[in-house]
A and B are shown apart, each in its own frame.
Chain A
Amino acid sequence: MYFSPAPLHIPDGFLNLVISLIFWALTAVTVGAAISKTNQSLGEKQIPLMGVMAAFIFAAQMLNFPVAGGTSGHFLGGALAAIVLGPWAAVLVMTAVIAVQGLLFQDGGLLAMGANIFNMGLLTAAVGYGLYRAAAGLGKGARYAAAGAAAWIAVMAAALTTSLQLWLSGTSRLQIVLPAMLGVHALIGIGEALITVAALAFIEQTRPDLLSEKATTEKGGRGWVVGGALVSLIAVLLSPLASAHPDGLERVAENMGFLHLEQSAPYQILPGYTIPFLGETPLSTIVAGAVGAAVVLGLVVVIGTSLKKKSA
C-alpha cells in the first residue's frame, strides 16, 4: 500500500552472472568516484543531507496522481535529485535508495543490484544533470524544458539498458522486450517529466538560493554535459532504430553462426562464459565472470584517466 514496485527493478535470476558482475564493476567504479568526489568537495555535513535526501526520494515515490483507467503516474525522482544536488551526490543518494529497496523490500535483486544502480542511478544522474546543465544560463522556459526532457530521457535510457541487459543475459528476445519496455516507459516518463518540472519550478520559487548556489560551485560540469548528451542521444536515436529493426543484431549473430556455437555473440572472448582450461566447472564460470568484470573495470579506468588528463 505504501510502496509499489517500479517495473525497472530487475530481480535476481533474470540476469546471468557475467552481465551482473560487469555492471557491478561499472557501478562500483562510478560510486567509488562519487565517494571520493563528495569527500573532497563536501564536509561531513553532507552525509546527513544525502541520507535525508535519499529518504525524500523514497517517500516521494509514494506521491502519485491518477492518470486513466485505474493506473497512476509515479515519481521516480532521479533527475530531480541530480539537478538540485549535483551529479555526484545524486549518484550516492540513488545508490542508497536502490540498495534499501533491494535489501529491505526485495524490490530488485542483490546480484542484479549493480545493474539496477547503473540503470536508475548513474544514467539518471548523467542525463538529468548533463541536460539541465547544458541549458544553464538560458531563460526559465528553456531550463524547464531541458529538465523535463532530461527526466523523460532518463527514464527511457533506464528502460533501454534494462532491456539490453535482459537480452544479453539471454532472458528475453530483444524484439519483444525492447518495444514493450520502451512503450511502457515512454508513458511513465511523461509523468516523471511533468512532476520534475513542477517540483523544480516550486523549489525555484521558494528557495532560489538552492539552485543558483549549485550552478556556481559545482565544477567540471562540462564532462557531465557531454556525458548526459551522449547517453540521451544514444537513448533517443537507438530506441526507435532498435524497435524498428529489433532483430537486427540477432540476425547478424545468426548469419555469422554465433548462435549455433553457444549463447549470444558479444562475449565470445570467454566462450560459454567459461575458461577453456578450467573446463565446465563453477570455478571456471566465476573466473570468467571475474575476468569479464576486470576487463570492463580496466577499460573504465583507462578511459577515466585519459579523460581526466585531457581536462586537466
Chain B
Amino acid sequence: MMHVNAFDRFHEADSRLHRLDPRVKVALTVLFILSNALLPDGAWAAFGLAWILLLWANHLSNLGLDFTFRRSFLALPFALAAVSAIFSPLGNPLAKWRVGPFALTPTDYGLVKFASILLRSWLSVQAAILLAAVTQFPDMVHAFEHLRVPKILTTIVAFLYRYLFVLTDEAMRLLRARDARSATLPPSVSLLQKWGRNKRGVAWRAKVTGNMAGQLFLRSYERSDRIYNAMLARGYTGQLRTLRPHVMKPGDWLFAALAFGSLLLLQLIGRL
C-alpha cells in the first residue's frame, strides 16, 4: 500500500503563512502570477523585486529560504518552446548563424523577450509551489468554493483528491502484476526484429496497457457506486461539509492589504 501522503505537497510547519486564511493565499498567488504576466519585457528591477517578495514569503513560511527555488525547475523543459522567440524578426540582429538549411538571427528584442518569459514562468511556478506547500489541499478547495467557483466542480476536485490515492494504489497493483507476468526484453533487440519475430511489439504492449486501463476504469466505476451508496447511508445530500469554517481575521486582512500594496508598487516600478 502506498502511503497516503505520497502525492501530498503540503509541508507541515507552524508559520504565519500556514495560518493565513486559504482564501488570502489563493488570491495572492493568482495576483502574483497576474502581476508577473503584466510586467513588460525587460523590467528587470520589477522582476528582481518580485523575486525578493517571493523570498520573503519563503522566509515567512518557515520552510527555508531556498524551499521553492529547489523545486522551481519543473517548467524548465517547456522553456524549449520559447527558444524560438530569440530569433524574433523584430529588433536588431546580434549575429547570424547558419544551421544546415536555416539561417538563424538572434536579435536583442528576442533575447530580452526570451529571458522575460523564463523569468515570469520561474517566478510564477514558485508561487504555485509555495501555495501548495503551505495550504492543505482540502482547505484550498474550500477556498475556491468561497471564491465562487461552482460547487459541483469543487466537489469533483475534492473527490478526485480523496480517491487519487486509492486508484493509484489500484494502478500500482496492475503494474506490479504486469511486471510479474512478463520478463523485460533485452535492449539489444531492435523494434523491427521484435515485430518480425513474434509480433509482440509496440502494438501488443499498447493493447496490454489498454486492457489495464479498461480494467482500472471498471474497477473505478464500480467503486464509485459503492462509494455513493456508503455516502447515502451516512446522510449525504450532495454537499460536502468541513469542520474548519474559514473566518477572515484582522491579521489576514492586514497581510492581504500589505501584499497587494507591494504588488502595486512592483507594477509601478516595472512601468517606470
Chain A residues within CB distance 8 Å of chain B: 2-3, 5, 7, 9-14, 16-17, 20, 31-32, 35, 38-39, 44-45, 47-56, 58-60, 62-68, 73, 75, 77, 80, 84, 92-93, 95-97, 99-100, 102-107, 109-111, 166, 170-173, 176-177, 181, 191, 194-203, 206-207, 210, 250, 254, 259, 280-282, 285-286
Contact = CB atoms under 8 A, between A and B. Distances in A.
Contacts of B215: 202
Contacts, number: 286
B33 A109 contact: yes
Contacts of A49: 221, 224-225, 228
Given A199-B211, A206-B214, A16 B125 contact: no
A56 B220 contact: yes
A84 B217 contact: yes
A68 B172 CA distance: 22
Contact of B167 (A3, A56, A166): A56
Interface in B196-232: 202-203, 205-218, 220-221, 223-225, 227-228, 231
Contacts of B157: 51, 54, 96, 99-100
Interface string B172-203: 10110000000000000001000000000011
A102 B223 CA distance: 26
A65 B36 CA distance: 39
Interface of B: 6-7, 9, 29-30, 33-34, 36-38, 74-75, 77-78, 81-85, 87-90, 113, 117-125, 128-129, 131-132, 137, 140, 150, 152-153, 155-164, 166-168, 170-172, 174-175, 191, 202-203, 205-218, 220-221, 223-225, 227-228, 231, 236-238, 267, 271
A104 B137 contact: yes
A164 B119 CA distance: 22
Nearest to A74: B209
Nearest to A84: B217
A58 B6 CA distance: 14
Residue among A59, A107, A109, A206 facing the most chain B CB atoms (10 A cut-off): A59
B118 to A, nearest CB: 7
Contacts of A93: 156
Given A2-B168, A49-B224, A75 B74 contact: no
A133 to B, nearest CB: 19
B110 to A, nearest CB: 9
Residue among B33, B36, B88, B170 facing the most chain A CB atoms (10 A cut-off): B33
A159 to B, nearest CB: 11
Contacts of B208: 65, 198
Given A35-B153, A109-B128, A172-B85, A52 B224 contact: yes
A54 B152 CA distance: 13
B244 to A, nearest CB: 18
Nearest to A192: B206
Residue among A93, A194, A250 facing the most chain B CB atoms (10 A cut-off): A194
Contact of A170 (B34, B113, B214, B231): B113
Contact of A111 (B30, B84, B118): B30
A42 B121 CA distance: 40
B28 to A, nearest CB: 12
28 contacts: A11-B78, A12-B128, A13-B118, A13-B122, A14-B117, A35-B150, A49-B221, A56-B220, A58-B168, A60-B213, A62-B168, A65-B202, A68-B191, A92-B153, A92-B156, A96-B157, A104-B132, A106-B132, A177-B84, A195-B213, A196-B210, A198-B213, A199-B214, A199-B217, A200-B214, A203-B214, A210-B221, A282-B267
A103 B128 contact: yes
B211 A95 contact: no
A181 B81 CA distance: 9
Contacts of B220: 52-53, 55-56, 59
Contacts of B166: 55
Residue among B36, B161, B215 facing the most chain A CB atoms (10 A cut-off): B161
Given A17-B34, A96-B157, 7 more contacts: A13-B75, A52-B221, A60-B213, A102-B128, A109-B121, A195-B209, A206-B218
A169 B33 CA distance: 16
Contacts of B120: 12-13
A189 to B, nearest CB: 12
B216 A198 contact: no
A13 B205 CA distance: 38
B125 to A, nearest CB: 5
Contacts of A65: 202, 205-206, 208-209
A285 B9 CA distance: 34
A44 B206 contact: no
Contacts of A62: 168, 171-172, 175
Contacts of A64: 209
A202 B210 contact: yes
Residue among A60, A100, A173 facing the most chain B CB atoms (10 A cut-off): A60
> Across chains A and B, which 7 residue pairs bring their CB atoms closest together, nearest first?
A51-B159, A198-B210, A202-B214, A13-B121, A13-B120, A194-B206, A12-B124
